C-alpha cells in the first residue's frame, strides 16, 4: 500500500511540473526610424547651340540634373521666349511664355528637348522640380538668323473685255515664303488708270476679311452697265508693310442694241 501511495505522489509531482506556465519572452525590438535623406540638387546645361540657327530650324538643348541621392524628378523642361529674363533671380512658371513638353524621370539624370526657331533670338532656361522644390539654370541665348519676308501679289484672272451688263470675276494670289496673317486686303478699282499704286488712284474698294498669306482669292464684280475701261489693283498689308499688284484693265462694252435703245 505504501508503495502505491509513493508512486501516486511521484506522478502528481511530474504532472505539476509539466503544466507550469512558459517563461515570458522579451518584447520584439521596435522598427528603426529611417530619416529621409536630403539631396543636393544642381542643374546645368550640357549642350546649347553656339552657332547661329536659321529661322524655322529645330535645334536641341540638353541639360543635366545632378544629385548625390537618387530622387524622382516631378518634372523638367525648357522654358524660353524671345525676350531676355536674365534679370529675374527667382524665375517662375510664367517668367517665359513657352516651354517644351515636361518630362518625368529620376535624378541624377540627363535630359534634352527640341525648340523650333522663330524670327528672333531665343532665351532659354532649364528647370526641374524635385520633391516640390524648383531648380533653374542660368539663362542662355541662342542667336537666330531671320529669313527676310518675301511677298508678291498678282492678279491671275480678269477678262480683257466684257459686256457691261454681265458680271465677271477678278482672281489674284498672294505669294509668301512665310505663313502670315493679312492686316488688310482689298481689291481697289476705278475708271482712271493709276500712274502709281495708291488708294487715291482707285477710289473704290472691296475688302476681304480674315485673309492670310499665302493664298488665292476671288471677287465677283456686279454688272457695271457703263461703257468704260476699269482699272484694278490688289492692295495687301502684312506686318504694316504695303504690297500692290500690277494694274489690270478691263474694257466694259455696251451692246449696240442697248446703246440705240432697241
What is the assigned CATH class of domain 41-145? mainly beta
For the chain, report the end-to-end CA distance as a whole number of angstroms: 166
**Cell numbers 524622382: residue:** 72
Instruction: Give the CA distances from residue 140 to residues 82, 137, 143, 242, in Å, rounded to whole numbers and listed in that order.
Output: 12, 9, 10, 36
Q: Phi/psi at 29 (nearest 5 deg)? A: -65, 145
Per-residue pLDDT tens, the chain, 262 aa: give them: 555 445 545 544 445 455 555 666 677 666 665 556 678 999 999 999 999 999 999 999 999 999 999 999 999 999 999 999 999 999 999 999 999 999 999 999 999 999 999 999 999 999 999 999 999 999 999 999 999 999 999 999 999 999 999 999 999 999 999 999 999 999 999 998 886 666 667 889 999 999 999 999 999 999 999 999 999 999 999 999 999 999 999 999 987 655 545 4
CATH number of 151-260: 2.60.40.10
pTM strictly above 0.95: no
Asked if the domains at 41-145 and 151-260 fall in one CATH topology, the answer is yes
Q: Where are the domains of the chain?
A: 41-145, 151-260
What burial class does residue 30 get, using C-beta atoms within 10 Å of its C-beta: 0-12 exposed, 13-18 middle, 19+ buried? Answer: exposed
CA 221 to CA 29: how far, in whole Å? 97
Amino acid at each position: 500500500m505504501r508503495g502505491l501511495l509513493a508512486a501516486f505522489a511521484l506522478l502528481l509531482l511530474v504532472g505539476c511540473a509539466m503544466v507550469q506556465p512558459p517563461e515570458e519572452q522579451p518584447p520584439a525590438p521596435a522598427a528603426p526610424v529611417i530619416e529621409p535623406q536630403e539631396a543636393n540638387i544642381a542643374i546645368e546645361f550640357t549642350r546649347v547651340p553656339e552657332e547661329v540657327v536659321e529661322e524655322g530650324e529645330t535645334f536641341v538643348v540638353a541639360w543635366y540634373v545632378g544629385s548625390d541621392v537618387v530622387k524622382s524628378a516631378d518634372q523638367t523642361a525648357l522654358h524660353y521666349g524671345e525676350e531676355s529674363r536674365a534679370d529675374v533671380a527667382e524665375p517662375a512658371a510664367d517668367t517665359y511664355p513657352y516651354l517644351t513638353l515636361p518630362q518625368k524621370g529620376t535624378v541624377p539624370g540627363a535630359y534634352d528637348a527640341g525648340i523650333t526657331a522663330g524670327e528672333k533670338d531665343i532665351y532659354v532656361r532649364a528647370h526641374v522640380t524635385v520633391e516640390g522644390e524648383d531648380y533653374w539654370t542660368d539663362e542662355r541665348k541662342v542667336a537666330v538668323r531671320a529669313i527676310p519676308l518675301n511677298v508678291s501679289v498678282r492678279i491671275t484672272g480678269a477678262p480683257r473685255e466684257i459686256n457691261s451688263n454681265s458680271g465677271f470675276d477678278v482672281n489674284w494670289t498672294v505669294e509668301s515664303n512665310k505663313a502670315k496673317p493679312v492686316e488688310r486686303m482689298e481689291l481697289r478699282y476705278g475708271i482712271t488708270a493709276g500712274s502709281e499704286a495708291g488708294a487715291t488712284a482707285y477710289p473704290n474698294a472691296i475688302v476681304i476679311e480674315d485673309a492670310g498669306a499665302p493664298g488665292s482669292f476671288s471677287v465677283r464684280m456686279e454688272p457695271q452697265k457703263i461703257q468704260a475701261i476699269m482699272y484694278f489693283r490688289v492692295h495687301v498689308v502684312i506686318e504694316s508693310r504695303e504690297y500692290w499688284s500690277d494694274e489690270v484693265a478691263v474694257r466694259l462694252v455696251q451692246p449696240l442694241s442697248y446703246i440705240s435703245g432697241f
